[in-house]
Amino acid sequence: MPTALIILAAGKGSRMNSDLPKVLHKIGGSSLLAHAMRAADTLMPQRVVVVAGHEAEQVRAEALSLGVADIALQEEQLGTGHAVAQAKDVLADFEGDAIVLFGDTPFISPETLEKMTAARKEHDVVVLGFHAADPARYGRFITDGSRLDRIVEYKDATEAERAINLCNSGLIAADSETLFDLLEAVKNDNASGEYYLPDVVEIANSRGLSSGYVTCDEAETLGINTRAELANAERIFQDTKRAEALENGVTMYAPETVFFASDTFVGRDTVIEQNVVFGPEVTIESGALIRAFSHLEGCHVSRDAIIGPYARLRPGAEIAEEARVGNFVEIKNAIIGEAAKVNHLTYVGDATVGARSNLGAGTVTCNYDGVMKHHTTIGNDVFIGSSTMLVAPVKIGNRAMTASGSVITSDVPAEALAIGRARQENKLGLAEKLFTRLQAIKEKKKAGKQ
């Protein structure tokens, strides 16, 4: 059965106290909207509609970056039923099931969504519920065995109904045409004057359709409405990722100090030391060592490579097998070849470093001229002396060397030694004269202040 997702992302999220739309706040380096979409990947949806409202253009841009082409606009926030109805025109030509998700509920699992789609074989409408430890102000399920009779909002519930702990998550699945037909009958004669999506259950039952429900763990239904809830969600996410890494054969000496992104991949037998942060799009192959206080994003680290301590790998960094990237080294958009060494106090940007080459301390690839970026190519088995400035574009041939303190502005042939520094001159006695003069100036200034 073809599936369409309708993701509600129109809310302002005023309790976040932010200019950023709520669904664009991030957990594990990915927006809440991205998490909601990723949960449904296993369903292989044919269509995805994001319903935007507050700061719609920002939400639209994020949705487009995630591969969503269909955006519906909810100009007035008149309730969840009204929000879903805005997707009707977009899905006018769609035949299949529609599943409604919330863009601020990041932890719904693929397994739970698959349970909902499986339940659709028995029911016309399926709603996701959960048993709440503290039902608080959630809507309550009114059931008759496996049948879902209706969902009552807390504001409209009796005391007996409020005692029920089987609560509504808000997620719903139904045939697309049926869902929109039911929504047309939803009224706003309730305490909030809004069009409630859950009302479709009672309407469906009144028409002789079958309504059912499935349940999930309460933790999956966590919605994000405040900064405190966002921080708690980040903690839950990180704890889950750390547990997965340990289970998959990754060694972490202090797991609570390691932070992952949602798409971080780390191979088995990798060792991650304390206080390491992974940004988005990082792949670490098996057997690597990521040493303490390193920050990695948008990079690939091959087998048996060593990164850090205090290293920064930026987007486009490709570190080959057995390469070494040491302390206070920054790599950006550069390939570090097999067994190459960039051990300390060095910046390598927009460059290729060949196999077994060694870059001394303080090496800098001067890649930016203020307008454009330029590339540096360093061959195999090259030795770059400490404090060498490589002014791109420049090429260093295989087995070449540069003298320490050189500024290299021209290509260096293979096996050549390049010296790009001014000749040293010693001015005898000049240091003593200079020190005497400067000391006199200092004493004069000091006397003038007294």
Is the pLDDT at 99 greater than 70? The verdict is yes
pLDDT at 147 over 80: yes
Distances (CA, A) of 359 to 305, 325, 379: 16, 10, 12
Least confident of 22-31, 68-77, 111-120: 68-77
pLDDT at residue 450, rounded to an integer: 64
Q: What is the pTM of this model?
A: 0.88
Once rounded to an integer, what is the mean pLDDT over residues 3-27? Answer: 92
Structural domains of the chain, ranges and CATH numbers in brackets:
3-221 (3.90.550.10), 227-418 (2.160.10.10)
Taking the CB of residue 239, how many other CB atoms lie within 10 A of it?
12
Q: Are 333 and 316 in contact (CB under 8 A)?
A: yes
Q: What is the pLDDT of residue 14?
A: 85
Confidence of residue 1 (pLDDT cuts 50, 70, 90): confident
pLDDT at residue number 60 = 94
Active site members: 344
pLDDT tens-digit profile of 304-343? 999 999 999 999 999 999 999 999 999 999 999 999 999 9
pLDDT at 301 over 90: yes
Reading phi first (left if > 0) and then psi (alpha if -120 to 50, else beta), residue 322 is in left
The predicted pLDDT at position 54 comes to: 87
The residue count of the chain comes to 450
CB distance 337 to 323 below 8 Å: yes
Q: What percent of the chain has a predicted confidence (pLDDT) above 90? A: 86
Per-residue pLDDT averaged across 175-181, rounded?
A: 96
